[in-house]
Amino acid sequence: MKFRFLLWAMGLMMARASRNNPAFAQQLKDKDLVFQLQTLDGKIARHFIVRDQRVSSRSGSVEQPAFAIAFKDAKYGYDTLQASNKQLAFMQGIQDKHIQIKGNPALVVWFQGAMKYLKPRKR
CATH of the domain at 33: 3.30.1050.10
Nearest to 45, CA basis, from 24, 63, 27: 63
pLDDT tens series, the chain, 123 aa: 899 999 999 999 999 999 999 999 999 999 999 999 999 999 999 999 999 999 999 999 999 999 999 999 999 999 999 998 888 999 999 999 999 999 999 999 999 888 888 866 555
CB under 8 Å to 54, separation ≥6 — which residues?
A: 15, 18, 19, 28
Q: Which domain holds residue 49?
A: 1-122
**Count of structural domains, the chain:** 1
d(CA 11, CA 99): 20
